[in-house]
Homo-oligomer: A and B are copies of this chain.
């Protein structure tokens, strides 16, 4: 792929994002829904080539094991990293910790209900024990991306609900890791409680060290960068900090890189340069973030459903059943949150999206033979459904103003406060 081809793809993606976002806005929906739909429409027509040679799985699973990706996919990943970095920058760490018990409660109950619900739903449909276990594990953990984006679209990034959901989603990623350690042991016929513990300890340790050490070191590093005279030194330093934590999260702790980026945002939000970071990040982020959502839309396996065949109807039935379990489990977890003055349904709805973890489990499951091709498709379709329903549902339950600009300081807000030079 040369730079011309890349620029052409990028132009199509950015156009799909803005056209879709604009239409969604006019229909009083979050922009992210428009980007997903824009991706689906352009994915089938203009970007058709992309969908054929790059697998949906590749988009969401990132790790040291993955092979070479097209450039656009790297951009999508960076978009996710910047999205969570932005979410971290807009989250007050102390408030997040105060809500920690609620977040943990939502995370644990949501995972348990999804796992158990998914397992029994599949057993009811005569899926093998191993297959049902994999499906249960796959749909257990919430993906933080869609929710963070929807809260941002609705200008609710700093609400109590957003903080509980973000905290719970981070916890979900750690719980997901532990389940993965157990399940991959299961897939290789050797359960390892020690391995699962090691994974969990590494993940928690990473977050604690990153936050404690970061909170001590970050102000010093950023003040140093602030004293530098070269162009954009401070903004670049914040990006370097974010990228290093993203890399460490993955390499050192096996966590998703976006969890590291969120931790970096949390830490930098405590420095005196927070507003500068948010402002400088915004234009970079608004180029990269839509790439992720448009590609997600473009790569949805919509053509995998064939209602004409018996197998196709089974996939559809499994998908709908799993989707119902996935949504209800998280809503129950959210509604039961032990927190006053909270829109609990919004917390539950915010926990609905599934993403990375599902796709990792689906990959493991199909490799180990526990998941059939049909079940695999059903699980991917659940990702798609949860992704599509969350933005409008969240908008409905939050009943907010239709401010789609998002973020603490939007470009337009900055624009208006700067006198024309």
Interface residues of A (CB under 8 A from B): 1-4, 6-8, 10-11, 14-15, 17-18, 21-22, 24-26, 31, 34, 62-64, 66-69, 71, 73-74, 77-78, 81, 225, 228-237, 239-240, 243-244, 246-247, 250-251, 257, 275-276, 279-284, 286-287, 404-411, 413-415, 417-421
Contact = CB atoms under 8 A, between A and B. Distances in A.
Contacts of A64: 2, 4
Interface secondary structure of A, over-half rule: helix
17 contacts: A1-B68, A3-B257, A4-B62, A6-B74, A7-B247, A8-B247, A11-B244, A11-B247, A14-B239, A18-B233, A25-B230, A231-B404, A231-B405, A232-B282, A232-B287, A236-B287, A284-B284
B14 A236 contact: yes
A143 to B, nearest CB: 17
B411 A3 contact: no
B18 A275 contact: no
Copies in the complex: 2
A250 B4 CA distance: 8
Contacts of A282: 232, 283
B415 A1 contact: no
Given A11-B243, A230-B21, A231-B31, A3 B237 contact: no
Contacts of A257: 3-4, 7
Which residue, A15, A74, A250, A409, has most C-beta atoms of chain B within 10 A? A74
Contact of A71 (B62, B71, B233, B276): B71
A2 B62 contact: yes
Given A233-B22, A404-B230, A247 B4 contact: yes
A44 to B, nearest CB: 21
B232 A286 contact: yes
A202 B320 CA distance: 57
Contacts of A286: 231-232, 235-236
A349 to B, nearest CB: 22
Contact of A279 (B234, B239, B418): B418
Contact of A3 (B2, B8, B62, B406): B62
Contact of A240 (B6, B15, B279): B15
A66 B2 contact: yes
A420 B275 contact: yes
Contacts of A24: 230
B62 A18 contact: no
A13 B239 CA distance: 12
Contacts of A69: 1-3
A284 B229 CA distance: 19
B236 A22 contact: no
